[in-house]
A and B are shown apart, each in its own frame.
Chain A
Amino acid sequence: MRREGDTMDLKNYELVVGLEVHAELNTESKIYCGCRNAFGMEVNTECCPICMGMPGTLPTLNEKVVEYAAKMGYALNCTVNPVSKQDRKNYFYPDLPKAYQISQFDIPLCEHGWLDIWVNGQERRIGITRIHIEEDAGKLIHDDSFTGTLVDFNRCGVPLIEIVSEPDLHSSAEAKAYLDTIKSILEYINISDCKMQEGSIRCDINVSVHKPGEPFGTRVEMKNVNTFSGAVRAIEYEAARQIDVLEDGGTVAQETRRWDDIKGQNFVLRSKEDAQDYRYFPEPDLLTIVLDEDKLATIKASIPELPNKKKVRYIQELGLPEADAVLLVETKEKSDFFEAILAAAPIKAKNAANWVLGDVSRLMNEQNRSIDDLGINPAQLAEIISLIEAGKISSSAGKQVFDEMLQTGKAPAEIVKEKGLEQVSDTSALQAIVVEVMANNQKSIDDYKNGKTNALGFLVGQCMKASKGKGNPALMKEMLLKYLEG
């Protein structure tokens, strides 16, 4: 079945995808010790006996981690459990110094949520099974300069949340939209740096295919997917692989496969028979996590309007084009700025959006600064837009006022007055200009009459020039037309 926007042909199969997203939290310190939670430091400098799992050491929970994870829970409409517990997941690997990972098994911090995503012009609701907290493992280092393998423990104990979706995604495009939305929410509530190149978001992908009306097919899990575009490729590859197997009369094996993004292929990691038994059991070194009502209420109240909801509101209530809405909600700072302009004066949303996405974004790029660091007072920008909308200054004069305002810090009205930028909307005052332009541009008048309607733009431009930018272009256009048509 092919859905609009899909890049692949599913040959009349339905695709079912569930995602497990691991996001590193940007707390100051690690989850179970006082080490700094910092990326890119010299190997084995941000670790201590606790995160290195030395004998006799004990973990103590960083409460910020719980708070951050609960924030994400509320952002994804979950129930945040007032009581949850931590468990040990046991397995041997050299990057896991305790030989168990402290995670959450049967009672996670957050459960039963959902996330609305915007795909192909409509909203889709994706179920969130659970969000739990856990610790990251270290990194193995292989290098040609030495034989064997070394371990860097800096990442051990970096706090993670794992966000598990329901198998509600039905295309790679939906998966991409889901991942983009998760990322933007993490950034909005400022709990993760979301730096893909640093591996701060990673995902495992569950994929199955089935014929419409039939039960779900056998699920294959893919690990090692480190980019969102890689996720799209991995899903499409795996769906096609499963469809080929089924079309050839075979059956899909339940297994875990490793995605190789460079080869664009996946490979069997382990079959169902080799599935690891993690022997989960309650972590005896840590207490039950208890969040009282007040704490939960405070966390809940701290959740701002989220980008996915904002986007829909911008499209549906403010009438903005989807492209504008997408760009405006990119960061919380940008949408806050946009909304501050709108709140300051009764101006058109589209005009405000144009300014934010036009001149303001240009300045951000030029100066490589965040929107809040540009020194623009949103109320003053709103004033400029009002002046333009009211026809008191032209839009080109508006830009002049904007630049002047940034340089001098003066109020827009003051600048307009000082520079004499008031737009002339008095027909008697403009009459002479129009007459003069008509008299000096006979060729354009002929062109217009011969059907070259864009000659009108040229004539309006000439009028603007003659009025030194102050004439109301709409009015002058009207007057010109009267002569030309008359």
Chain B
Amino acid sequence: MELYQLTAEKLSAMLANKECTSEELTQSVLRRIEAKEPEIKAYLTVCAEEALKKAKEVDQKRAAGEKLHPLAGIPMGIKDNICTRGIKTTCASRILENFVPPYDAFVMEKLHAADAVILGKLNMDEFAMGSSTENSYFQKTRNPWNTEYVPGGSSGGSAASVAAGEAVVSLGSDTGGSIRQPSAYCGIVGLKPTYSSVSRYGLVAYASSLDQIGALGRSVKDVAMVYSAICGRDPHDATSAVREYPDFAAGITGNVKGLRIGIPKEYFGEGVAADVKEAVWKAAKALESAGATLVEVSLPSTDYALSAYYIIASAEASSNLARFDGVKYGYRTQNFSNLTEMYENTRSEGFGAEVKRRIMLGTYVLSSGYYDAYYKKAKFTQLRIQDEFNKAFEACDLLLTPTAPDTAFRIGEQVDDQVKMYMNDILTVTVNIAGLPGLSMPCGFDGKGLPVGCQLIGPKFSEQVLFDVASCWEQQNGGFDLAATLA
């Protein structure tokens, strides 16, 4: 057994018991990166030197008897839309190809304070727009279960690196499913936390009202450990909740007795693959046998969620991405003779097709004369979806659904069919629209041997319940089988 194969939970205990050092662990993961990266292509930047330096520092602190955070010395990867001081933060876009932020995101400050070891920056769909990580300007990340397949997206690098043992845990961001769907495709655990529980300061904005940073890991406890480390009030994010949070990892009981698990029928409709339905049902039944009750609930506006999501997200994106204009930082075209041309050519050359598509869509829906028909209606739909969730949570404590309608698809398979690509998000966007926490856990495999993801959705700030339920399933299932990918 190599150190890179172990969970953060196990490694944290080993480090504490001095069964291994962070330097040994970091070296193990760096060797794994070296070995697997040519195939997986999860990283855009690897900071081997800095990671080892940090690992040694942590080992010294531990040797000196300092009281350390559970994540101290654990090597992790960071999605490349989270600002890291002194380390390139590209959002997988040509327009930020050489952007080095002079500041850290709030979550990075938290991770540094916890003495986590930062391995590098992970590939993603450009500006987090996409469901396959194929929209990266730099490279296509492969699914560790089958490298012909996409790892999902937009946090494809975050999911693939963890599934391949190239990071123990990672940070991703989720605007419409960007943590949960790749977690499902790569057979790992991913949490999209309650909106406002993790500061967005330093997360390069895609859709401000929907974006949320979250954690990916190979066990429920690992994800809970990372979430505990990054959540909390940040005075620099006005939307950050004023709230105290418990130690989620320590609080996991795995007890589901008496919990009412809602099964929303709209999430098991025609478009969902039979293999997926079957695997998800298996998990539901296992939870039932562990003492939970299954109740059928209805979320009738689910059909409108995807349209509402693409309108709201694109509208905000068109404004958020306007700052990439070639004036201050990032890419600037060589080809211009006046200001307007500089803007037009910089943005035409600097952004990829999907980003341009969403900027145009967002610009259109906010235009005078169209605002009421699109943006306003979408915001109204958002309220309706929120109401329906609130109502559903009167009848149950959490919801259980598939994370995505199907398992991973082949690289290149869906790039020409945008609607099909957007359908990947149909079961996850509602969670962002309602600001709820959502967790994806692996629940088996399809006929092709690709992992299936099961999504748990709870009321705001119910992460502890989601961890308990996921942990119950994890224990029954005997942990998630990663032998195939970690070989």
Contact = CB atoms under 8 A, between A and B. Distances in A.
Interface residues of B, number: 44
B235 A281 contact: no
Interface string A416-455: 0000000000000000000000000000000000000000
A90 B236 contact: no
A279 B343 CA distance: 18
A49 B239 contact: no
Contacts of B235: 60
B219 to A, nearest CB: 29
A285 interface: yes
Interface in B431-446: none
A5 interface: no
Please classify the interface of chain B as helix (H, G, I), strand (E, B), loop, or mixed, using the class held by over half of its residues: loop
B339 A94 contact: yes
B204 interface: yes
Nearest to B366: A279
A92 B325 contact: yes
A54 B103 contact: yes
A56 interface: yes
Interface string A262-302: 00000000000000010111001111000000000000000
A55 B96 contact: yes
Contact of B366 (A55, A99, A281): A281
A284 B316 contact: yes
B293 interface: no
B209 A284 contact: yes
B390 to A, nearest CB: 20
Given A55-B96, A58-B236, A98 B329 contact: no
Interface in B113-171: none
Contact of B89 (A49, A55, A99, A277): A55
A57 interface: yes
B201 A58 contact: yes
Interface in B342-362: 343
A391 interface: no
Contacts of A279: 318-319, 363, 366-368, 371
Contacts of A61: 238
Please classify the interface of chain A as helix (H, G, I), strand (E, B), loop, or mixed, using the class held by over half of its residues: loop
Contacts of A88: 319
B99 A92 contact: no
A60 B324 CA distance: 21
Contacts of A285: 205, 208, 237-239
B238 A99 contact: no
Interface in B301-356: 315-316, 318-319, 322-325, 327-329, 339, 343
Contacts of B248: none
A60 B236 contact: yes
A240 interface: no
Interface string B46-78: 000000000000000000000000000000000
A52 B328 contact: yes
Interface of A: 49, 52-61, 88, 90, 92, 94, 97-100, 151, 277, 279-281, 284-287
Given A56-B204, A90-B322, A286-B239, 9 more contacts: A54-B328, A56-B101, A56-B105, A57-B103, A92-B322, A92-B325, A92-B343, A281-B316, A287-B239
Interface of B: 81-83, 89, 91, 96, 99, 101-103, 105, 200-205, 207-209, 235-239, 315-316, 318-319, 322-325, 327-329, 339, 343, 363, 366-368, 371, 375
25 contacts: A54-B329, A55-B89, A56-B101, A57-B103, A59-B238, A60-B235, A60-B236, A88-B319, A90-B319, A90-B322, A90-B366, A92-B325, A94-B327, A94-B339, A98-B322, A99-B322, A100-B319, A280-B366, A281-B316, A281-B366, A281-B375, A284-B209, A284-B316, A285-B238, A286-B238
